[in-house]
Chains A and B, each alone.
Chain A
Amino acid sequence: MTEKGRIVKMVSQDQEEFEVEYGVATMSTLIANVLQDVSEETTTVPIPNVNAQVLAKVIEYCRYHYEAKRIDQSEEDIERWNKDFMKVDNKTLFNILIAASFLDIADLLDLGCKTVAGMIKDKSVEQIRELFCIEGDFTEEQEAKMREENNWGSEMSQENNAAQ
């Protein structure tokens, strides 16, 4: 069987099956490695760490980017699509990040991390905690001390801003 017509069945944590073209599936380095190592008759790849909802999103991403590359989609269109793709709730976003990390899809991981970084940008620690529902476990004194010990970061940042 040629790789072109090869279909890979990805099975999510909750046993849902997704039929994906070989080229799309192998955007994941992990799956590419697995498929390289098994015989061509093997078509099913269990993804035990990713649930169906998240796996569907990941496949959507891979499918779009595979096609975009094939038809030479413009950078602007891809960026716009990426932006829309990342318009999800925080829980889904985090799950996509974890899946991208597990499946070793560097572009998706990068996109997800940039999205989270964009959400963090210019926010105070309290705002970040509120945004991501994080319970702070530092006392006020500890936080103040750490801020003092690490304030070189903000000073340098201010210097950089001034220089710019």
Chain B
Amino acid sequence: MPSGELKYIKKSQLTKVALSSSKELTEEVYLISFKREFEFLPGQVIGISPEEDGPRRLYSICSGADDDEVKILYNVVKEGYVTPRLSDLREGDAIWITAPRGKFLYDDGPAYWISTGTGIAPFYSMFRSGLFENKRLIHGERFIERFWFSDELRDNFGDNYLRCCSQESDESTFNGRVTEYLKTTDHLPADYKYYLCGRAEMVVEARDILIGRGIPFNNIISEIYF
């Protein structure tokens, strides 16, 4: 949990913040940051709009609860409204944010954290907040360059960090999609929790696989990006 006296943003209230950075990490995937002036729980989301009166979308926070900056990892949706405009913004430009919300939160027990793409954000937030004991992090992507934060995660998770790459392979990755890994791995303890985060297709397919492999559905916790 973050500490210190910070300004708390009331629900439904939009707050204007200035971007301190905007980086294109890989093609059409951006990491933006701004000064943290509120408290949040790792795993929560905030609404963001590039305009005060414009539509806003929810994004998982991708930074630690005690970090000085709040970071958001997002994929540009070409036909979308918010992300193409966000990607045009630079340091010093304004965005409007909502209060943090959401209950996709850390749990003490042993768990698998399973994500694809930018769905790694809530797990990275938990990790950055020092909350990753007994956790195995599985991240799926198409290309190796898209395993953002890889060095940091490998250094801390060790063997409990697994990258599943569907379009490329090297000695440190599982060659295939996350769902393929879940179908074939021998180690899926039924008493673990399974946290899923990413696009609906992945979450639904992974959930079905886990249930099919004997995981009780009440041990599966899903966060869907929409």
Instruction: State whether these chains interact.
Output: no
Which residues of A approach B to under 8 Å, CB–CB?
Answer: none
Which residues of B approach A to under 8 Å, CB–CB?
Answer: none
